[in-house]
Structure 1
Amino acid sequence: MSFDLPRNVILPVDAIDVRLDPGPHPFAVSNAEAIADNWRQEIAANPALFDGTVVLLSALAYRDSRLVGRCHAVNYSTFMLWRKRRENSGAEHAYAHAMLVTGDNALVAIRMGSHTVNAGRVYFAAGSFEPVDFRDGVVDADFNMIREVGEETGLDLSKAERGQRYHALSTASGTVIFRRYRVAEPADELARRIGAFVAAEADPEIEGPVIIRHAADLPDGLMAHMKPLIEWHFAGAVS
């Protein structure tokens, strides 16, 4: 199976069957020394980094509107080296975005904090899949989305109206799985709530909210994969 899916096009996704393999990722096994060396350099540059556990794909395919794949738990230090050596590595990254849509049809993104790996970058609140995001060995993308939004913004999306299906965009840098989450509150109210949450946090992960009101409203620091998602939403795509 390896990696077999269309690139640079938004795909409708009706089901996600990405399973957690209990074995080590081949990239982690074959690059153990380089991972340790690189991690020493990373934490010297940014002591706030934490070597937690994330997952890295060893296979992903698109079949009959389904994403089917295999991933492995790896240390964050492994992921950091992979970011530098992703070409022909036998590994890829997938992550999920809750596309938060307000009552006045704006999108709510976040700007990452200065101490993070993606400092200053703008995207929808998100984080890599972790072992806690799997149910009976299969990833629960909605659980991941709701968990990450709650941790970064303080918002609880568990009762928000969800889009009928997922969508995915796969590029050379990774595959983003996204879904609309609609709430009744207007954008300014959500921005106020997120701002208050960030101000009360001792060590907030984000700098604050970023409101996007139309397709040309692209903020500085926007991650490259975000532009097609924003255009897709404001073009009136049905989800």
Structure 2
Amino acid sequence: MSAQRLRVARVCGVSARLRPGAHPVEALEREAIASVWSRALAEKPQMFDGRVLLGEDVAISGGQLELACRETGFSTLVWLRTRPEERRVINAFGAAVVVSADGAALLGRMARHTANAGLLYFPCGTPDRDDVRGDEVDIEGAMLRELEEETGLAPPLVSPTQRAVAVFDGSLVGYFRRFDCTLDADAIHARVGNWLARDPDAELEEVVLARSAAELDSSSPPYVHAALAALLPA
């Protein structure tokens, strides 16, 4: 997406609700989704078309990001990534932006067997049924779950701050909250590196600690550059 289409808004939190039924796009675009998924699966046979939650509506109200989600297959998200102008469905997710004690942000490069192989961004994932509490989707909880699953980092090593932003980039809406870590950059790199080395199926192939958005290249999506620029300064 071009910079003109990308928007950053400071927010105080996130609220997400699950609407009943499957996302309408799943039926409306069934053939197109199946075609894209078939090609993607041929390249990455380890992918699984599990059920995930994608956005249907989004707004900012009272300083809070508000999302309405519906369930659909992971294949819908893969299809959505080929349709940057699509607006009926939203790739809505949250990510913890972990900042070391000496001011570097943690990013992970996706492993070759994943859908986003080679891309460098914050540890995160798409919400799913495990994140649902009643009719609410626990985005903040999902962020911490993904962070721990992918890096081994969890409270009290990391603690949330009041600094959060929403980034709007076409069909993507990301919620990013800064988490401060008690470890310095070298210690985080070593700790997470050891965590990844123990898992032959790790989703990340390496971790990078960046001290500014200027250190990132095109392997990091535009929303990563924007969120880092907003949250990294002390």
Name the TM-score, length of structure 2 as normaliser.
0.91
Point out where structure 1 has 5 or more consecutive residues left out of the alignment.
1-6
- Residues 29-108 of structure 1 aligned to structure 2 (within 5 Å): 29-108=27-106
Query: Partners in 2 of 1:79 and 1:63 — Cα distance?
Result: 26
Counterpart amino acid of residue 210 in structure 1: V
Structure ranking higher in strand proportion? 2
The answer to whether the 8 Å contact 2:108/2:207 transfers is yes
The answer to whether the 8 Å contact 1:95/1:176 transfers is yes
Query: Partners in 2 of 1:133 and 1:120 — Cα distance?
Result: 27
Percent identity between the two aligned chains: 33
Q: 1:225 corresponds to which residue?
A: 223
Query: Within the alignment, does 1:160 sit opposite 2:158 as a pair?
Result: yes
Query: Partners in 2 of 1:110 and 1:220 — Cα distance?
Result: 14
Query: Partners in 1 of 2:209 and 2:178 — Cα distance?
Result: 15
Secondary structure (helix, strand or coil) at the match of 2:150 reads helix
Deviation at 1:73, TM superposition (A): 0.9
Deviation at 1:42, TM superposition (A): 1.6
Query: Within the alignment, does 1:192 sit opposite 2:190 as a pair?
Result: yes
The answer to whether the 8 Å contact 1:86/1:92 transfers is no
Identify the range of structure 1 (39-48 vs 182-191) with the bigger mean alpha-carbon deviation.
Answer: 39-48
Counterpart amino acid of residue 170 in structure 1: F
Query: Partners in 1 of 2:30 and 2:129 — Cα distance?
Result: 21
Q: 1:3 corresponds to which residue?
A: none
Cα 1:158/1:77, change in 2 over 3 Å: farther
Secondary structure (helix, strand or coil) at the match of 1:148 reads helix
Query: Partners in 1 of 2:185 and 2:48 — Cα distance?
Result: 32
The answer to whether the 8 Å contact 2:22/2:70 transfers is yes
Query: Partners in 2 of 1:35 and 1:202 — Cα distance?
Result: 30
Query: Partners in 1 of 2:197 and 2:219 — Cα distance?
Result: 22
Name the TM-score, length of structure 1 as normaliser.
0.89
The answer to whether the 8 Å contact 2:14/2:175 transfers is no
Deviation at 1:17, TM superposition (A): 2.4
Counterpart amino acid of residue 75 in structure 2: S
Q: 2:127 corresponds to which residue?
A: 129
Point out where structure 2 has 5 or more consecutive residues left out of the alignment.
none
The answer to whether the 8 Å contact 2:106/2:207 transfers is yes
The number of aligned residues is: 231
Cα 1:22/1:109, change in 2 over 3 Å: same
Q: 2:107 corresponds to which residue?
A: 109
